[in-house]
Amino acid sequence: MKTILPKELEEKITNGAEIHIIDVREDEEVAQGKIPGAKHIPLGDIPNELAKMDKQQHYYVVCHSGGRSTAACEYMISQGYDVTNMTGGMSAWQGEIEINK
Please count the other Cβ atoms lying within 10 Å of the Cβ belonging to residue 45: 11
Active-site residue, 63 included: yes
- Ramachandran class of 27: left when φ > 0, alpha when ψ lies in -120 to 50, beta otherwise: alpha
Are 69 and 6 spatial neighbours (Cβ–Cβ below 8 Å)? no
What is the C-alpha radius of gyration for the chain, rounded to an integer number of angstroms?
A: 12
Catalytic option among 63, 76, 83, 86? 63
Catalytically active residues are 63
